Amino acid sequence: MTTRLLVAYASRHGSTREVAEAIAAALRGHGLDAEVRAAAHVRGLEGYAGVVLGAAIYVGRLHGDARAFMRRHRRALAALPLAVFALGPRTLAAGEVAASRSQLDAALAREPTLRPFSTAIFGGVVKPSELRFPLNRMPATDARDWDAIRRWADEIAARFALAPGAVA
């Protein structure tokens, strides 16, 4: 039996979903069974040996669906291996990445029973055509580093392979 993992995501415009799908594909490449689902649609965590939660950061806050997911499933998440990633900074400049890291850390601190074994910040995406004024005046960007995303997925795969129910 392989380790069954959930890769849940909270995304308004789809870029976080795309990263979640890439992470799940990398986990599958390591022989793990990874299912991708919108965080808002996950009703229970029974049957999963671990969880990856991904969320966009909008205007300094973790996506509401991710915050609700952590609250709704806090007991189950406290007992499972958990890894968390967020998409936030418009660029990979150190200051922007640090600000997004701080925002992710603040959101996780509000759920003290959750102790992710790994967290990551990846660059975000800005599509002005999908935003309202005045944000629609921002330049278009895509700061996702797909190599870094795959490396992180490879790193967490090793930890998930050790989860109960994993193939020896």
Q: How many domains does the chain have?
A: 1
Judge whether 134 lies within some domain. Answer: yes
Q: Which domain holds residue 37?
A: 7-161
Q: Which residue has the tokens 């090793």?
A: 158
Cα–Cα distance list, 91 to 71, 85, 134 (Å): 30, 16, 19
Judge whether 76 lies within some domain. Answer: yes
Judge whether 126 lies within some domain. Answer: yes
* Section 78-100 average pLDDT: 90
Judge whether 167 lies within some domain. Answer: no
Q: CATH code at 45?
A: 3.40.50.360
Q: What is the pLDDT of residues 20-73, one digit of tens each?
A: 999 999 999 999 999 999 999 999 999 999 999 999 987 788 999 999 999 999
Judge whether 79 lies within some domain. Answer: yes
What pLDDT score was predicted for residue 109?
Answer: 95
Give the whole-angstrom CA distance, residue 117 versus residue 80: 10
| pTM, 2 dp | 0.88
Find the range with the poorest average confidence among 60-64, 86-90, 127-131. 127-131
Judge whether 168 lies within some domain. Answer: no
